[in-house]
Structure 1
């Protein structure tokens, strides 16, 4: 077992716990600077405590994220706005997935928490679709609106991964994938 003795600092464990507390509170916190943790570094009780910290942080961020998504969907006046809210929500999940699967975590924790996060995302997608089913069955809402929203929710599924971000996707020329333009005059 590797014991960390830092004067006035709890080493990598404290660095992670401090990060998780700040990150859960939506404060600026960069996961790239987190040190690696090895399964051999701490006894089992310490890992249990750490897993609670990690689980609480992920749960808090997902709840905050879910509340913001619900507000955005309720405020969406049309399907374009709803689709945009869902697409932005997927981007927001990138950070949650990155913390759950952080390479500095031992593989067992990474696997366990990545599975939990993916399960919660899938559950939320299904919950949104069930809410639409419930509206269709009881509310007397316009069936065309419900079907439009259902299509928007499925076309912009939360379970899909966002495309790789580019600085300006419209600025890409893509000239290598098409022949040169030729102008022929008579």
Structure 2
């Protein structure tokens, strides 16, 4: 029996971590063993890539559902901006796993590109939903434009660092082993964008002095 199929081997350690992490159970990514391309044959990398993709997708879907609920419940644009800022904080754990230093560089690039592409998709879907809302009977044009400004002043894409992966259109999808041919990233589905959730970011407004005017733009 090879090490990566044996109890406690690197493959099993990663798969068990991903199961717990995707369920938002306590799991320490710092304890994961480093992996190199020669460690596994291609079919094992494909299986691990599938586990990684599924775990990231589940966390992203939960994140999107929580963000949608928070925006719908926001009583004003200040609250909506705060929800967007906290949503960016929730993406940190997802991007950290996608770019985990224990993964081969090619796989990190694929996963990070996929996540960043989905973040961009969610931002675009939120803005498109306002176009649909503006065209409905009885729509409040002023309210729609205020929400549009809030979305653009507090973009989810601010969670993507400068110089980050450009949408994941390049490189193999996570189901392929490192070094495989190129493929296209999977975009978010309309109406139910993939999303993920980590612990909410600290309330950025909690540290403001009471006499300081509140602004629309929420910083991380």
TM, length-normalised to structure 2? 0.70
Q: Which residue of 2 aligns with 1:115?
A: 113
Alignment of 1:62-73 (within 5 A): 62-73=60-71
CA deviation map 1:84-122 (0-9, x unaligned): 000000000000000001000011110001000000000
Q: 2:37 is matched with which residue: 39, 53, 56?
A: 39
Cα offset, 1:138, TM superposition:
1.7
Output aligned runs, 1:4-153, within 5 Å.
Answer: 4=3, 9-153=7-151
Larger-gyration structure (1/2): 1
- Count of residues in correspondence between the two structures: 166
Any stretches of 5+ residues in structure 2 without a counterpart?
162-200, 209-220
- Structure 1 moving runs of 4+ over 6 Å: none
RMSD across aligned positions (CA): 2.3
1:32 and 1:148 map into 2 onto residues whose CA distance is: 42
SS of corresponding position for 1:35: coil
SS of the residue 1:138 aligns to: coil
Give ranges in structure 1 of 5+ residues lacking alignment. Answer: 172-186
Aligned to 2:172: none
Paired residue secondary structure (1:159): helix
Q: Is the 8 A contact 2:116 2:160 kept in 1?
A: no
Provide the C-alpha distance between the structure 2 equivalents of 1:9 and 1:106, rounded to a whole number of angstroms.
22
The structure in which a higher percent of residues are helix is 1
Please state whether the residue corresponding to 2:24 is helix, strand or coil.
coil
| Deviation at residue 142 of structure 1 after TM alignment | 1.1
Q: Could you tell me whether the CA contact under 8 Å between 1:125 and 1:159 is conserved in 2?
A: yes
Q: Which has the higher contact order (CA 8 A, sep 6+)?
A: 2
> How high is the TM-score relative to the length of structure 1?
0.83
SS of equivalent residue, structure 1 residue 84: helix
